[in-house]
Amino acid sequence: MRKFEQLGSLSEPEMQALWKAPVRFGHVRAHEDIVSEGQGLSESSLILDGFACRYKLLPGGMRQIMSFQIPGDFCDLQGLVLTAMDYAVGALTRCHVAFLSHQSLFQLFETHPRIAQALWKETLVDGMIHREWLENIGRRPAYARIAHLLCEMRSRLKAIGLAQDRQFELPLTQTDIGDATGLSMIHVNRTLRKLRADGLITFHANVVTVHDWKRLQSTAGFDPSYLQLQPIGSGKIGRAR
């Protein structure tokens, strides 16, 4: 549970302060919502364990997933600064979640402004992922689109030690993948088979096995520097303060 540390290179006293903040722990069953759309929030939730997704429902009942949240990700920092959520967060597996009250976060911001900045940064990274997905859904054909999603998830899961080079667990149904990529479940199925037939990956029992990482990456048009951020302290901000 010491995943706070990935939060973004804070200094020792800042980490100390975070440890002392009151945290409520809880868990959410698979297929239940962690946060609902339209809700106003009084605490922010951080995934400690499990997979979740942000999504919206359309009038017709269709679902669009906007991002997957993995351990170490905040779900709803948006609710800290804005008064209503424009999306829901659903648990894809059983999730362990830490809830931090907004009040105590704001108190932390007073004494440790860099914590606010670290959280701001979190939301900016969300924005980067959204833009990557816009590019993906808007301009790539299904084959590359799914390949790209797999590249992204491998990359993000590796960063938190949940993926190996050749293999990682990805507890998504084909319906989930379809809702994330803007495709029908059926087409996802066929495309996965094609990826399999081409010797790029296999996806079975929630496990992705990468057979040809290089080719997967190139068909996806995946940029390996994706989300490889510089730590806060070493960049412009360090200088500016």
Residues within the interface to DNA (CB under 7 A): 141-143, 145, 173-175, 182-187, 189-193, 204-205
Q: Name the phi and psi angles at 153, rounded to 5.
A: -65, -40
Closer residue to a copy of itself (CB): 213 or 226: 226
CB of 134 vs DNA, minimal distance in Å:
14
In 95-117, which positions are buried (b, 16+ CB within 10 angstroms) versus exposed (e)?
A: bebbbbbeeebeebeeebebbeb
Q: Min. distance of Cβ 159 from DNA in angstroms?
A: 25
The residue (of 18 and 168) whose beta carbon lies closer to a copy of itself is 18
Binding a copy of itself by CB under 8 A: which of 1, 31, 86, 233? Answer: 86
Q: Does 40 bind a copy of itself (CB under 8 A)?
A: yes
Which of the choices a copy of itself, DNA, none does residue 11 contact, using the CB cut-off of 5 to 8 A by kind?
none
Among 6, 167, 173, 230, which residue interacts with a copy of itself (rule: CB under 8 A)? Answer: 230
Q: For residue 87, give the nearest of 64, 62, 59 by alpha carbon.
A: 64
If one asks whether residue 141 binds a copy of itself (CB under 8 A), the answer comes out as: no
Q: What does the alpha-carbon distance between residue 181 and residue 134 come to, in Å, rounded to a whole number?
A: 10
87 binds a copy of itself per the rule CB under 8 A: yes
Could you give the CA distance from residue 63 to residue 60 in angstroms, rounded to a whole number?
9
Please tell me whether residue 138 binds a copy of itself under the rule CB under 8 A: yes
Beta carbons within 8 Å of 41's beta carbon, 6+ residues apart: 35, 76, 79, 80, 85, 102
Following DSSP, what letter does each residue of 153-188 receive, concatenated?
HHHHHHHTT-B-SSEEE----HHHHHHHHT--HHHH
Residues that bind a copy of itself in the complex, under the rule CB under 8 A? 40-42, 54, 56, 58-59, 62-64, 66, 77-78, 80-84, 86-87, 102-103, 106, 109-110, 113, 116-117, 120-121, 123-128, 130-135, 137-140, 181-182, 221, 229-230, 232, 235-237, 240-241
